[in-house]
Amino acid sequence: MRRAIGLAGRIMLWTVVVLCVAIVVLPRFLDRIYYTGPASAHFDTARFFNPDGEDTIAMPAGGSRTNFFVRYFFQQDGRPAWPTNVPITPGKPAARVAGERMVITWIGHATMLVQTQGLNILTDPIWENTAGPFGAGPKRVMDPGVRFEDLPKIDLVLISHDHYDHMSLPTLQRLWDRDKPLIVTSLGNDTVMSGVTSVARDWGGRVNVRPGIDVIVTRNHHWGTRFMVDRNRALWSSFVVTLPGGNLFFAGDTGFGDGKWPMEARGYGPIRLALLPIGAFRFVPGQMGIASHVGPIDAAEVFARLGASRAMAIHWGTFRLSYEARDTPPRLLDAVMKCRTDIGGGRAFVAVRAGAPTEVGPLLADPPPTAPVSRDQVVRCLDTPQVRALR
User: Exposed, middle or buried by CB within 10 Å (0-12, 13-18, 19+), for 231?
Assistant: middle
**Lowest pLDDT segment from 55-64, 199-208, 345-354:** 55-64
Quick one: pLDDT at residue 368?
Answer: 87
Quick one: pLDDT at residue 17?
Answer: 46
CA distance readout (Å), 18 to 15, 27, 30, 116, 136: 5, 14, 17, 55, 22
12: confidence class by pLDDT, cuts 50, 70, 90: low
Of 257, 181, 249, which is closest to residue 218 (Cα–Cα)?
249
- Residue 228: helix, strand or coil by DSSP? coil
Q: State pLDDT tens for residues 211-228.
A: 999 999 999 999 999 998
Q: State pLDDT tens for residues 85-99.
A: 999 999 999 999 999
For range 301-326, the mean pLDDT:
97
d(C-alpha 283, C-alpha 65), whole Å: 13
Are the C-beta atoms of 50 and 56 separated by less than 8 Å?
yes
Quick one: pLDDT at residue 8?
Answer: 54
In the predicted structure, residue 248 carries a pLDDT above the cut 60? yes
Quick one: pLDDT at residue 77?
Answer: 75
In the predicted structure, residue 315 carries a pLDDT above the cut 60? yes
Q: State pLDDT tens for residues 111-142.
A: 999 999 999 999 999 999 999 998 899 999 99
